Amino acid sequence: MKKIGVLTSGGDSPGMNAAFRAIVRTAHGLDIDVLAIRHGYKGLINDDISKVTSNDVSNIIQRGGTVLKSARCDEFREPEGRAEAAKVLEKHGIEALVTIGGDGTFQGAALLAKEHDINVIGVPATIDNDLVGSDETIGYDTALNTAMEAIDKIRDTADAHDRLFLVEVMGRDAGFIALETGIAGGAELILLPESLTDIDEVKSSLNKVLSEQRRSSLVVIAEGDETGGAMKISEALKPDFSKYEMRVCILGHVQRGGNPTARDRVLASRLGSAAVTVLKEGHSQVMVGVVNNKIKLTPLKMTFGKKKDINFDLVELAKMLR
Ligand code: F6P
């Protein structure tokens, strides 16, 4: 193996830069050239590619976002787009592609590999933590801490006014961020896509909490919750809870930014480096993950599509501490 390409794709996550750095430095240690593909699959199709040196990745381990830039690319969803991408890879003599991203990124990579016999390795990076094959994904820990800090701040103002706050967090169809930030932020109620949300149950749980005269109450809601998110729940609660001052806060993209935590930097460094070493060993069409603190390979096509289990012990804990 003499030359590999690297790209970041889909929603960025803190730690993508640390993974890119680890890939470049490990590859150079093994005498492998690295070509940086900018703007994800869109940049691959448009030939937005250049060689990187070890110096080029200095001073990026601490930075959020992705210096490689990212994009969501409709063209790559089509066979014609992937055929174009395969031609560009061939033109540059790229023998393997390392894709850093989430489920959409890996779906695209798996199709590219199947249709054009290209070696691909996935490095899991998404704040949603929804990929099977790694206990945590790069960026999840940072997003948790960002959301928790925001919730702490909301609690201050909620408490000052004795208000009821509905806080919506990201996670797409998964409730990992909601569950753990809800526990860490001492939420009175946590609504997750993984457990059915019955609005009458929400009302009776809230009534219980509010009748116990708590000074403030905070509900953390996963954006993928089946009720349709914080705004919809607020509409549903309004008629019965009009005597309480209710406010909605949707944390949104603030959860995707910021300097990665130490845990995310270490995870990204391990996974980025492992991506290159396993390629060198001859593996392909796999995602590198960390399970029980050990590097684990999972076939790329097994990492998405199937729902990753949340920890129901934590769901019970949250109820107990309500
Ligand atoms: O997958 C990461 C994520 O931030 C999700 O949590 C969220 O639903 C989505 O991306 C938002 O996507 P976009 O930035 O394209 O609006």
CA of 252 to the centre of ligand 1 (A): 9
- 188-204 in b/e form (b: 16+ CB < 10 A) is bbbbbbbeebeeeebee
Q: Rounded mean pLDDT of 120-138?
A: 98
d(CA 115, CA 295): 28
Spacing, Cα 144 to ligand 1 middle (Å): 15
Query: What is residue 138's DSSP assignment?
Result: B
Q: In what order do the strands lie in the sheet with 246-250?
A: 189-191, 217-222, 164-169, 246-250
Of the pLDDT bands very low, low, confident and very high (cuts 50, 70, 90), residue 216 is confident
Strands 33-37 and 49-52: antiparallel
- Between 88 and 305, where is the model more confident? 88
- Distance in angstroms (rounded) separating the CA atoms of residues 251 and 147: 7
According to DSSP, the β-strands at 286-291 and 294-299 are antiparallel
102 is an annotated ligand-binding site residue: yes
Instruction: For strands 3-8 and 33-37, give the pairing.
Output: parallel
Would you state the pLDDT for residue 227? 87
Is the C-beta atom of 170 inside 6 A of ligand 1?
Answer: yes
Residue of the CA atom closest to atom 12 of ligand 1 = 11
Ligand 1 atom with minimal separation from the 172 CA = 8
- pLDDT exceeds cutoff 80 at 196: no
Question: In testing the pocket of ligand 1, which one of 8, 106, 127 has its CB within 8 Å of the most ligand atoms?
Answer: 127
pLDDT of residue 24: 98
Other CB atoms within 10 A of residue 14 CB: 31
Residue entry with tokens 């850093």: 100
CA distance 144 to 11: 16
Decide: 139 and 151 in contact? Cβ < 8 Å.
Answer: no
128 lines ligand 1 (CB under 6 A): yes
Whole-number Å distance between alpha carbons of 296 and 288: 6
Q: Is 128 a catalytic residue?
A: yes
Host H or E run for residue 137: none
Residue 65 is classified by DSSP as: S
272 Cβ inside 6 Å of ligand 1:
no
Q: Which of 12, 128, 130, 225 is catalytic?
A: 128
pLDDT-derived band at 215 (thresholds 50, 70, 90) equals confident
- The answer to whether residue 250 scores a pLDDT higher than 80 is yes
DSSP for 178-232 reads HHHHHHHTT-SEEE-TTS---HHHHHHHHHHHHHTT-S-EEEEEETT-TT-SHHH
3 state SS for 68-79 = CCCCCCCHHHCH
- Distance between Cα 46 and ligand 1 center (Å): 24
User: What domains can you pick out in the chain, each with its CATH number?
Assistant: 3-139+260-302 (3.40.50.450), 140-256 (3.40.50.460)
What is the model's pTM?
0.97
More confident residue, 100 or 195: 100
Taking the C-alpha atoms of 153, 155, 156 and 157 in order, what is their torsion angle to the nearest 10 degrees? 100
Please report the atom of ligand 1 found closest to the CA of residue 253: 4
Pocket test for ligand 1, best of 128, 181, 251 (most atoms within 8 A of CB): 128
120 lines ligand 1 (CB under 6 A): no
3-class secondary structure, 291: strand
Predicted ipTM? 0.98
Q: Which of 250, 184, 185 is nearest to 221 (CA)?
A: 250
